[in-house]
Amino acid sequence: MEEFSFMTILAVFEEIFGRGLFWTMVAVAGAITLAYLFVLFRDRSMSMRKFLLAQLSMPIGGIAAVWFVMLITNSGMRDIGGPIDWLVLLGVFMAGAIGFAILVYVGQSLMRGKSADI
C-alpha cells in the first residue's frame, strides 16, 4: 500500500464492520454529536456534576467498545500480536470511553433538564 488516503480508511472500516453496520454507527455518532451540541447551546454551560458522572462512566464505554470490536471481528485477546495491535486496542478503548461519556452527559441533560450548578 503506497498511498494512504481517507478513501482507503473508509474502505477498510466498511470491510471490517460491513457497509450497513459501519454507516449505522456513523449515523448514531452524528446524532449523539448533534444532541450534545443542542444540550450545550440550550444550557449555555457545562454542568460539572453531570460531567463528573459522565467521566466515571468512561471505563464502561471503553470495555464495551473493545468487546464490540472483538465480537464483530470474530477475534479475541489471544489474537493480539505486536505493538500495533495493542495501540489499536487502546485507541478503540479510548474512542469508546469518550463516546460513552458524551452519551451519558447528553442523556443526563435531556432527562434532568437544565440544572443550576453552583
pLDDT the model gives residue 28: 94
Task: Say if 11 falls within a structural domain.
Answer: yes
Whole-number pLDDT of residue 117: 52
Question: What is the domain count for the chain?
Answer: 1
34 within some domain: yes
What is the mean pLDDT of the segment spanning 51-72? 94
pLDDT above 50 for 103: yes
Q: Is 79 inside a domain boundary? A: yes
Residue 101 has pLDDT above 80, yes or no: yes
Q: Is residue 118 part of a domain?
A: no
Q: What is the pTM for the complete model shown? A: 0.82
The more confident residue out of 57 and 1 is 57
Kindly report the three-state secondary structure assignment for every residue of the chain: CCCCCHHHHHHHHHHHHCHHHHHHHHHHHHHHHHHHHHHHHHHCCCCHHHHHHHHHCHHHHHHHHHHHHHHHCCCCHHHCCCHHHHHHHHHHHHHHHHHHHHHHHHHHHHHHCCCCCC
Given pLDDT bands bounded at 50, 70 and 90, which one contains residue 62?
very high
pLDDT at 71 > cutoff 80: yes
> Which range of residues forms the domain containing residue 87?
6-112
| pLDDT-derived band at 74, boundaries 50, 70, 90 | confident
Asked if the model's pLDDT at residue 54 lies above 70, the reply is: yes
